[in-house]
Amino acid sequence: MSIVQSSVSTPSTVRSSPSLSCGAAHPVVASYTISSTSNSFLLRSSSLKTVTSVSSSKNSKRKSAVGKVRSSLETAGATVGQVTEVTKDTFWPIVNAAGDKTVVLDMYTQWCGPCKIIAPKYQELSEKYLDVVFLKLDCNQENKPLAKELGIRVVPTFKILKHNKIVKEVTGAKFDDLVAAIDTVRSS
């Protein structure tokens, strides 16, 4: 009886459970190790922490999971419960990975006084609304193309997105208006 081992790296898709709030498919890239004998093989996924055993003699399949599956939002670089700094290169991949979640973008500059005042309150919102993705974009020269694409006129400007589209905007450091806009989009 010989044992054959190989490594395969393939993209797969994990669909969340219907009982969870996000029903979207999340692409996950996994590295698999396959061990086989003449009548069975083991499929080990290092990144998904799963082992699948298939036996051809009994025609049975057994699967056990260890650890947690990382969502595409996490692999894109955003962390729930925190404000994530984005750039012109990372913004759209994170928004796309957010799926059905509400995304709030704080567009600020380093020299803006009102931006500095509202920043701690914005951080508190990210800790309160765990079903919302909070991002911030420094509207410097490097990120100017994205700022222009998003139509920024003043700082701070908060863009609220749902399904990859801007649905609300709050200009200025108006905390109560921002909270009301987030609540409106979350409930829609």
Q: How far apart are CA 85 and CA 78, in angstroms?
A: 9
Specify whether 112 is catalytic: yes
* One domain for residues 49 and 26: yes
Check whether residue 89 and residue 138 sit in a common domain: yes
Residues of the chain with pLDDT under 50: 1-70
- Please tell me whether residues 19 and 76 are part of one structural domain: no
Q: Which one of the listed residues 97, 115, 160, 170 is annotated catalytic?
A: 115
Asked if residue 150 and residue 92 are part of one domain, the reply reads yes
Q: What is the pLDDT of residue 78?
A: 83
- pLDDT, residue 79, reads 84
Q: Do 42 and 90 have their domain in common?
A: no
For residue 10 the two structure tokens come to 């393939």
Q: Evaluate whether 137 touches 86 at the Cβ level (below 8 Å).
A: yes
Structural domain containing residue 46: 4-65
Catalytic, 115? Answer yes
For residue 111, the domain's CATH number is: 3.40.30.10
Domain boundary among 50, 65, 80: 65
Same domain, 17 and 92: no
- Please tell me whether residues 113 and 47 are part of one structural domain: no
| Confidence at residue 54, expressed as pLDDT on a 0 to 100 scale | 39
Alpha-carbon dihedral 10, 16, 22, 28, rounded to 10 degrees: -10
From 52, 97, 95, 44, select the one nearest 74 (Cα to Cα).
97
Q: How many domains in the chain?
A: 2
- pTM as predicted: 0.62
Which of these is catalytic: 28, 43, 80, 112?
112
Do residues 77 and 23 both lie within one domain?
Answer: no
Same domain, 111 and 24: no
Q: How many Å apart are CA 80 and CA 69, to the nearest integer? A: 15
83-128 pLDDT, tens digit each:
999 999 999 999 999 999 999 999 999 999 999 999 999 999 999 9
Question: Are 85 and 124 part of one and the same domain?
Answer: yes
101 and 182, same domain (yes or no): yes
The answer on 168 and 129 residing in a single domain is yes
Angle in degrees, 0-180, between the axes of helices 113-128 and 175-187, rounded to the nearest 10: 40
Q: Which DSSP string corresponds to 8-67?
A: EEEEEEEEPPTTSS--SEEEEEEEEEEEE-SSEEEEEETTTTEEEEEETTTTEEEEEE-S
The per-residue pLDDT for 178 is 98
